[in-house]
Amino acid sequence: SLGSEDNDVVVIGGGPGGYVAAIKAAQLGLKTTCIEKRGTLGGTCLNVGCIPSKDLYACGTSSLIPYVPRSPAFICQPRREVFFFEVDLPAMMAQKDKAVANLTRGIEGLFKKNKVNYVKGYGKFISPSEVSVDTLDGGNTVVKGKNILIATGSDVKSLPGITIDEKKIVSSTGALALSEIPKKLVVIGAGYIGLEMGSVWGRLGSEVTVVEFAPDIVPSMDGEIRKQFQRTLEKQKMKFMLKTKVVGVDTSGDGVKLTLEPASGGDQTTLEADVVLVSAGRTPFTAGLGLDKIGVETDKLGRILVNERFASNVSGVYAIGDVIPGPMLAHKAEEDGVACVEFIAGKQGHVDYDKVPGVVYTHPEVASVGKTEEQVKAHGIEYRVGKFPFLANSRAKAIDDAEGIVKILAEKETDKILGVHIMAPNAGELIHEAVVALTYDAASEDIARVCHAHPTMSEALKEAAMATHDKPIHI
Ligand code: FAD
């Protein structure tokens, strides 16, 4: 039966960490099997995360909506009140489902091409080299491997006292599949997933209120950029209730009634919503895997502890991606996966966690790599800041989408780039020039002296680099 022969590598979980590791392992000549319980490959990211969220945001047309009424290309612009359009939500969802289905099938194709054996079912350890799989067709098979790689990812985390029903109280998964546009949407948690999903529905007409216990949105963001980002979202009519906690949820009526309290205690208020999105983070997923049976060590958050070669405390058992400590991001999981199987194949693997870019896919997007100004200060490093606003960038003005800024932090003495933070419509693409620069220990002058095509948004990065150690031209 499938997988009954010995494998060099068995990967449990077919998300971006697991499927990339499996393909890479096969490419390195290792006999590889990947076990996935979902029925489709691509994990959280492709099925209920990165991809469907970006689809609803962009291809699903919600990113175009704000432009239509304000573009002078539409003759109804001077008489806005006569301009109306309807969103075909089922069509938008169908487009999203089609994109996801095509991509998951694409990975199956890559498995075939690379000769990765794919077992559909729920894997659990019998021993450090044997995984019992309850297959999706109702059978059972045992898959054996010299090396077993745990890539079981993460799952939605709820909050105490809040039950997610995926109808009125939804997780990100439910928020990607609502059957109606909620009039009032409350998002609990101002992390990047909450803001992205809030933006998707806000653009489609929902009144969005974000409730956050902490004093700030997206805590990992550079403080100055964060303030500007919050103002931008507020201009888009997203409301924020920071330093606020949810202490009660009543779903007995038509919608949901939330009882709120200041984080530090005090008078309670209520807030009504048609739909509440709980976006309070994610938790590593190891349920039913039998980790305790083989003695794999986890930390108190349930993350599998690994060394720099991704090896757990049990010989031959490795872990990567969302299930181990580190940023819970698809590209980080992929890097882990490749490095892990390179080590297994006797080669050198490498992931530089200081240079993992982070992107918030709203409009504008916010992307960053390296240190924030707060982190630079905390490290006691003397630094210079170079900034350039997109209001002074010709391409941004030409396309009438000039909200945003580039901020570069460079070491004062050496001019070495320490961190780059970009708020721009396409910041998630622009950031990679900075990732390469950081990876090669570039100075800001290096970026400043590189020829950038005109007119492009990327010129703002060049000008911010000029501003770090000298003067920019266009401001
Ligand atoms: P996962 O993708 O969670 O995959 C794990 C897989 O293992 C799952 O398919 C699961 O079914 C399977 N599995 C678990 N246990 C077993 C078992 N015992 N047997 C068999 N199979 C099992 N990240 C980004 O970088 N960019 C983004 O834009 C982004 N957007 C996101 C938006 C949302 C709404 C969400 C929820 C997440 C987003 N993320 C994004 C995070 C990203 O999805 C995760 O970091 C990434 O999927 C982690 O990859 P992974 O392979 O470690 O785990």
pLDDT digits (tens, 9 = 90+) for 422-449: 999 999 999 999 999 999 999 999 999 9
Distance 95 CA to ligand 1 centre (A): 21
| Residue of 45, 294, 310 best suited for mutating to test ligand 1, as the one with most atoms within 8 Å of CB | 45
Phi, psi of 248 (to 5 degrees): -155, 145
Q: Is 290 annotated as a binding residue?
A: no
70-74, 75-79, 183-187, 269-273: the lowest-pLDDT one = 75-79
Categorize the per-residue pLDDT at 85 as very low, low, confident or very high, splitting at 50, 70 and 90.
Answer: low
State the catalytic residues: 454
Distance 36 CA to ligand 1 centre (A): 12
**Is the model's pLDDT at 1 over the cut of 70?**
no
Pocket of ligand 1 (CB under 6 A): 12-18, 35-38, 43-45, 49-50, 53, 122-123, 151-154, 172, 193, 285, 288-289, 321-322, 328-331, 333, 361
- With a threshold of 0.90, tell me whether the complex ipTM lies above it: yes
**Is the model's pLDDT at 83 over the cut of 60?**
no
Which atom of ligand 1 is found nearest the CA of 329? Answer: 45
Let me know: does 433 contact 424? Beta carbons within 8 Å. Answer: no
**Is the model's pLDDT at 154 over the cut of 60?**
yes
Query: What integer pLDDT is reported at residue 87 of this predicted model?
Result: 82
SS3 assignment, position 137: coil
Overall average pLDDT of the 227-254 stretch: 97
| pTM for this model (two decimals) | 0.95
Query: What integer pLDDT is reported at residue 57 of this predicted model?
Result: 87
Distance 19 CA to ligand 1 centre (A): 11
Q: Is 440 annotated as a binding residue?
A: no
**Is the model's pLDDT at 61 over the cut of 70?**
no
Let me know: does 366 contact 423? Beta carbons within 8 Å. Answer: yes
Distance 423 CA to ligand 1 centre (A): 26
User: What's the distance, CA 159 to chain centroid?
Assistant: 20
Query: What integer pLDDT is reported at residue 70 of this predicted model?
Result: 56
Which atom of ligand 1 is found nearest the CA of 133? Answer: 19
Nearest to 157 by CA among 136, 175, 137, 171: 171
Overall average pLDDT of the 79-92 stretch: 71
Nearest to 424 by CA among 385, 450, 451, 463: 463
Which atom of ligand 1 is found nearest the CA of 288? Answer: 18
Query: What letter represents residue 420's amino acid?
Result: V
Query: What letter represents residue 395's amino acid?
Result: R
| Residue of 44, 126, 220 best suited for mutating to test ligand 1, as the one with most atoms within 8 Å of CB | 44
Q: How far is CA 91 from CA 60, 104, 198, in A?
A: 8, 20, 20
Q: Is 154 annotated as a binding residue?
A: yes
Distance 66 CA to ligand 1 centre (A): 31
Which atom of ligand 1 is found nearest the CA of 121? Answer: 20
pLDDT digits (tens, 9 = 90+) for 389-413: 999 999 999 999 999 999 999 999 9
Q: How far apart are CA 405 and CA 392, in angstroms?
A: 10
Query: What integer pLDDT is reported at residue 71 of this predicted model?
Result: 58
Q: How far is CA 440 from CA 350, 351, 422, 465, 467, in A?
A: 14, 14, 19, 16, 20
Query: What integer pLDDT is reported at residue 4 of this predicted model?
Result: 46
Q: How far is CA 418 from CA 269, 379, 410, 446, 458, in A?
A: 43, 11, 5, 13, 19
**Is the model's pLDDT at 272 over the cut of 80?**
yes
**Is the model's pLDDT at 67 over the cut of 90?**
no
Let me know: does 149 contact 11? Beta carbons within 8 Å. Answer: yes
**Is the model's pLDDT at 252 over the cut of 80?**
yes
Query: What integer pLDDT is reported at residue 72 of this predicted model?
Result: 58
The mean pLDDT value of the chain amounts to 94
pLDDT digits (tens, 9 = 90+) for 156-203: 998 999 999 999 999 999 999 999 999 999 999 999 999 999 999 998
Overall average pLDDT of the 109-122 stretch: 98
Exposed (0-12), middle (13-18) or buried (19+): which is 130, by Cβ within 10 Å? middle
